[in-house]
Amino acid sequence: MKNKDIKKKLKKKKTKKLTSADFLSTGSTLLNLACTGKPYRGFTKGKYYRMVGDSSSGKTFLTLTCLAEASINKNFKDYRFIFDNGEDGALMNIRKFFGKEVSKRMEAPGYTKKGEAVYSETIEDFYYNVDDAIKADKPFIYILDSMDSLTSKDEQKKFDVTKKAHRKGNKVAGSYGDGKAKKNSCNLRKLLTPLKKSKSILIILSQTRANIGFGSQYKPKVNSGGNALEFYACLEIWSSVRKTLKKTVKGKPREIGKVCLLETKKNRVRGWDRKVYVRIYHSFGFDNTGSCIDYLIDEGHWKSKDGTIKAPEFDFVGKESELIKYIEDEGMEKDLISIVADVWDEIEEACSVKRKKRY
């Protein structure tokens, strides 16, 4: 073999740049910006993501909104929508909140001969189900809701032994761990390459727990499942409720939704941690338009006084409800997103360190 042929063979391949076709929007402009710095790019194909949050802080709504975004994105038209509802907690009207296409395409990991949905009950079930999806040779978005709902064979075995001992008046020594941390450590890393090759997306939901004891003042919230869940994630999103949204009906304040804080952590896309606030209404779901308006007011780009908002780009002065109606009726959502992205970029640029490059 000639030298020039050897050099040609050894020449490193250029890394293919990611395009918009490689990303899935989260459905939230602000969360997309927090994840990637781009208003329409949230999750990258071929990666594992993790959503950690308090109870009723929008975890399930967020992940199912991702399916809604995939259902209207031509780059995901051949993807399977697998929702592993181990918690059996997502009882909302799928068609109402996420659309007819999601309702039609969403499937369980498995089914009985009678056509009844079968969800993961153990950590072993979960990894077997994901492996089945990979071997089906069709790209997918797989959502596990949630890691906390899963038991393990070790935990079940320990329970049976403890139960028998208790009935006999005996005590059983040993660990009471559920074994999930070890299973995740062994199996999660094995999914990374298959996910990348198939351009599939795996999203695992986890519930926060109060940290008790030494160090709790520095890290008040923790979660189960072991360190592997965080270590192998391309990105972590932590959610919590910041305030409730209320409306006076028949003389009484009624809760109609929440403002949730979403924090990006362990971000391998941009390397930064960011915080954004989004609205979620019980009767509507994620309010992207309202959240964007809140952001522009909070950052001082738009002025709000006594319930009146001044939005110069839209030549508008009036109440928020009127502004939202105007934007939606005129189909100006993309204009609003563009304004938010410009303000975001302006802030990021102002925060960047201007120094001579070392390399």
- In angstroms, the CA 196 to CA 216 distance is 36
**Residue 83 falls within a domain, yes or no?**
yes
**Residue 59 falls within a domain, yes or no?**
yes
pLDDT value at residue 164: 76
Range of the domain at 128: 48-233
- In angstroms, the CA 33 to CA 342 distance is 11
**Residue 115 falls within a domain, yes or no?**
yes
SS3 category, 218: coil
pLDDT value at residue 12: 56
CATH of the domain at 122: 3.40.50
**Residue 279 falls within a domain, yes or no?**
no
Q: Tell how many helices (H) and how many strands (E) occur in the chain.
A: 12, 18
Residue 323 CB neighbour total at 10 angstroms:
22
**Residue 353 falls within a domain, yes or no?**
no
**Residue 344 falls within a domain, yes or no?**
no
Strand partners, 240: 261
Residue 78: DSSP 8-state: T
What string of pLDDT tens digits covers the 359 residues of the chain? Answer: 566 665 555 555 566 788 999 999 999 999 999 999 999 999 999 999 999 999 889 899 999 999 999 999 999 999 999 999 988 766 789 999 999 999 999 999 999 999 999 999 999 999 999 999 999 999 999 999 999 999 987 777 777 777 777 787 777 665 556 689 999 999 999 999 999 999 999 999 999 876 655 555 556 566 778 999 999 999 999 999 999 999 999 999 999 999 999 999 989 988 889 999 999 999 999 999 999 999 999 999 999 999 999 999 999 999 999 999 999 999 999 999 999 999 999 999 999 998 998 89
Domains held by the chain: number: 1
**Residue 75 falls within a domain, yes or no?**
yes
Residue 79 CB neighbour total at 10 angstroms:
22
